C-alpha cells in the first residue's frame, strides 16, 4: 500500500473532526452557494452547463489541502472548493459535479478533448499552456520550493543541489517545477519524475530520493501530514499563479469565472480556511486581480 494515501485518509478523518467545529459542512468543504434560477445568454458554456445541471471538473486526487481523494471518493481541498463556487453560480450543486483525476501532464489534453469542462488543479498560468487552452484567474499565487527529510542538513535550498550531485530530486512530469529545477542540477540524471506527487513523497520517505520539488503549498500539505518526517527548506524561487483551465478561446466562460470569484470573496476565504488554510502557518490569501481573458 502506498502509505501516503493511507496516511492522507487518516489525516482527512482527523481534519473532518476539526472542520465540523468551524461551521463548515461535514465533508471538509465550505458549502458554497448554489444559485437557484441562474440564467445565461443562449449558446454560452454557462447556459449549456446550467441547463444540463451537471459538469465535469478535472482536479488532483493526491495533494493534501488542494485536491485529495477522501474516504467517500470525492476529492477535498481548496481547488475542489473553488470549483464548487463556480459550479454553484451556474446552479450546479456539488452532488452534480463529476470529479476527474487529472495529473499535471494531461491537463491540457483533457480540456482539449472535452473530457472535462474545466480544470482546477494547482495549474500554473503560462504562455506555453495558454497556446492550447484559456486560463481564468489567477485565483492564487504559489511558488516553487524544496522538501527534504527533517534530518537532512545538506540541502538548504536549490543552490545546494549541484554541489550534491548524488542527491536525487523528485517532481512530476508535465509540471513547471520539473522544468525549472533543471538549471539548479549538476545534470538531468539527478531528476526523478513520477505522474503524481504522492509517489514523490513515498520515494522521499523510502530514501529512494532526497528532495521533492514543486509548489510551496503542495509541499506544505505533505509536510503537515508527515508527522515531522519532512520539512520545507529555503525560499520560494519561482512564481506560480494558479489559473482555471477551460477550452481555448471561451472568453465568455473565462469572464464569468473571474466575475464569479470576484463576487464570492467570502466563499473564497472560507474555501481556503476550511482546506489549505488548516495547515500550520498558512496565510489566508486575498483573491488576486484577474488577468484579461483570451
Ligand atoms: N503549479 C505547477 C504546475 O502547474 C506545479 C503543480 C502541479 O504540477 O500541479 O505545473
Predicted structure pTM score: 0.90
Q: Does the Cβ of 102 fall within 6 Å of ligand 1?
A: no
Nearest CA owner, ligand 1 atom 5: 175
Q: Does the Cβ of 214 fall within 6 Å of ligand 1?
A: yes
CA of 144 to the centre of ligand 1 (A): 9
Adjacency order of strands within the sheet including 55-59 = 97-101, 55-59, 118-124, 240-247, 133-142
Cell of 157: 535550498
Nearest CA owner, ligand 1 atom 6: 122
194, 203 in Cβ contact below 8 A? yes
38 CB contacts (<8 Å, ≥6 apart)? 46, 50, 89, 90, 91
Going by pLDDT thresholds of 50, 70 and 90, the confidence category of residue 28 is low
Q: Does the Cβ of 238 fall within 6 Å of ligand 1?
A: no
Q: Does the Cβ of 104 fall within 6 Å of ligand 1?
A: yes
Q: Does the Cβ of 124 fall within 6 Å of ligand 1?
A: yes
CA of 21 to the centre of ligand 1 (A): 32
Q: Does the Cβ of 205 fall within 6 Å of ligand 1?
A: no
For 268-286, the pLDDT digits (tens) are 999 999 999 999 889 999 9
The answer to which of 12-26, 134-148, 159-173, 231-245 has the lowest mean pLDDT is 12-26
Q: Does the Cβ of 197 fall within 6 Å of ligand 1?
A: no
CA distance 287 to 262: 8
**pLDDT on residue 32:** 83
The mean pLDDT value of the chain amounts to 91
Angstrom distances, CA of residue 158 to CA of 213, 240, 277 = 9, 17, 26
For 237-258, the pLDDT digits (tens) are 999 999 999 999 999 999 999 9
Nearest CA owner, ligand 1 atom 10: 175
CA of 233 to the centre of ligand 1 (A): 19
CA of 35 to the centre of ligand 1 (A): 31
202 CB contacts (<8 Å, ≥6 apart)? 2, 3, 4
What are the backbone angles phi and psi of residue 170, rounded to the nearest 5°? -105, 135
Question: Cα torsion for 225, 281, 152, 215, to the nearest 10°?
Answer: 80
For 35-66, the pLDDT digits (tens) are 998 899 999 999 999 999 999 999 999 999 99
**pLDDT on residue 16:** 33
Q: Does the Cβ of 172 fall within 6 Å of ligand 1?
A: yes
CA of 142 to the centre of ligand 1 (A): 10
25, 74 in Cβ contact below 8 A? no
Nearest CA owner, ligand 1 atom 9: 122
CA distance 196 to 62: 7
Report the alpha-carbon angle 247-119-216, nearest 5: 135
Amino acid at each position: 500500500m502506498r502509505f501516503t494515501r493511507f496516511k492522507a485518509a487518516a489525516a482527512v478523518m482527523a481534519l473532518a473532526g476539526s472542520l465540523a467545529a468551524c461551521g463548515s459542512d461535514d465533508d471538509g468543504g465550505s458549502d458554497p452557494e448554489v444559485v437557484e434560477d441562474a440564467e445565461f445568454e443562449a449558446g454560452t458554456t454557462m447556459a449549456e452547463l446550467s441547463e444540463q445541471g451537471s459538469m465535469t471538473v478535472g482536479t488532483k486526487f493526491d495533494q493534501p489541502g488542494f485536491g485529495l481523494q477522501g474516504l467517500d471518493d470525492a476529492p477535498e481541498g481548496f481547488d475542489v472548493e473553488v470549483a464548487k463556487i463556480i459550479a454553484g453560480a451556474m446552479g450546479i450543486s456539488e452532488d452534480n459535479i463529476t470529479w476527474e483525476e487529472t495529473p499535471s501532464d494531461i491537463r491540457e489534453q483533457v480540456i482539449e478533448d472535452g473530457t472535462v469542462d474545466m480544470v482546477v488543479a494547482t495549474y500554473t498560468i503560462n504562455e506555453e499552456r495558454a497556446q492550447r487552452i484559456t486560463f481564468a484567474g489567477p485565483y492564487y499565487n504559489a511558488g516553487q520550493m524544496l522538501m527534504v527529510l527533517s534530518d537532512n542538513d545538506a540541502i538548504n535550498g536549490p543552490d545546494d543541489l549541484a554541489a550534491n550531485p548524488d542527491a536525487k530530486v523528485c517532481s512530476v512530469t508535465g509540471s513547471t517545477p520539473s522544468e525549472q529545477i533543471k538549471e539548479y542540477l549538476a545534470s538531468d540524471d539527478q531528476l526523478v519524475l513520477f505522474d503524481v506527487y504522492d509517489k514523490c513523497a513515498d520515494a522521499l520517505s523510502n530514501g529512494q530520493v532526497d528532495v521533492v520539488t514543486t509548489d510551496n503549498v503542495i509541499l506544505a500539505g505533505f509536510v503537515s501530514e508527515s508527522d515531522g518526517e519532512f520539512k520545507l527548506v529555503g525560499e520560494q524561487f519561482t512564481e506560480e499563479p494558479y489559473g482555471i483551465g477551460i477550452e481555448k478561446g471561451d472568453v465568455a466562460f473565462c469572464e464569468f469565472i473571474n466575475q464569479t470569484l470576484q463576487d464570492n470573496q467570502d466563499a473564497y476565504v472560507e474555501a481556503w480556511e476550511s482546506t489549505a488554510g488548516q495547515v500550520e502557518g498558512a496565510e489566508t490569501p486575498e483573491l488576486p486581480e484577474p488577468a484579461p481573458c483570451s
